[in-house]
């Protein structure tokens, strides 16, 4: 795949995400259409990931083959392999770190959406004592 094709696929993936996020939040489309848009953008992104990793493996494999044939150095082959693994690892970990830092520190609001009343421990004791005093005892 040429550089131009890669750029065009990246722009397509970025455009679907850029347009898909607001459309998904506004709920203009049905759930099936939103899932279809999301799966399309995920498919393009996965294709790009596989393509880029394939090219990275190809470069590393050429360096290892050159070392095996005696025309390249071990340091060059090891550096390229390490660069591939470190780049993938740092990129993946960086996404997790970025997500954690951008996440709001405020607690999650209650699911009911309204204010919740909390009774103090003294109120609870008073209510239970009142209930037990007014409830007639059953014969055994």
Residue 125, token pair as written in the block = 């004791």
> What per-residue confidence (pLDDT) applies to 133?
64
pLDDT for position 110? 57
Please calculate the CA angle 92-93-97 and round it to the nearest 5 degrees.
125
pLDDT value of position 78: 93
Model pLDDT, residue 115: 47
Q: Label residue 91 left, alpha or beta by phi (over 0 means left) and psi (-120 to 50 means alpha).
A: alpha
Residue 71: the pLDDT is: 92
Query: What whole-number distance in Å separates Cα of residue 72 and Cα of residue 94?
Result: 32
Q: Where do the H-state alpha helices sit in 70-135?
A: 74-102, 121-134
CA atoms within 13 A on the CB side of 115: 2
Compute mean pLDDT per 10 residues along the chain, 140 residues long, and list them: 82 76 71 79 81 90 92 92 92 84 66 52 66 61
**Token pair recorded at residue 91:** 């990129």
The tokens describing 65, both together, are 């083959």
Please list, residue by residue across 88-119, b when 16 or more beta carbons sit within 10 angstroms of its beta carbon and e when fewer do: eeeeeeeeeeeeeeeeeeeeeeeeeeeeeeee
């Amino acid at each position: 795949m040429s550089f131009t094709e890669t750029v065009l696929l990246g722009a397509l993936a970025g455009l679907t995400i850029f347009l898909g996020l607001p459309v998904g939040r506004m709920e203009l489309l049905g759930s099936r259409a939103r899932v279809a848009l999301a799966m399309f953008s995920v498919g393009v992104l996965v294709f790009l990931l596989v393509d880029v990793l394939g090219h990275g493996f190809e470069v590393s494999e050429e360096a290892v083959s050159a070392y095996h044939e005696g025309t390249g150095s071990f340091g060059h082959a090891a550096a390229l392999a390490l660069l591939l693994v470190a780049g993938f690892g740092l990129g993946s970990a960086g996404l997790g770190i970025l997500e954690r830092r951008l996440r709001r520190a405020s607690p999650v609001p209650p699911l009911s959406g309204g204010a919740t009343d909390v009774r103090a421990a003294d109120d609870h004791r008073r209510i239970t004592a009142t209930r037990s005093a007014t409830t007639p005892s059953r014969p055994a």
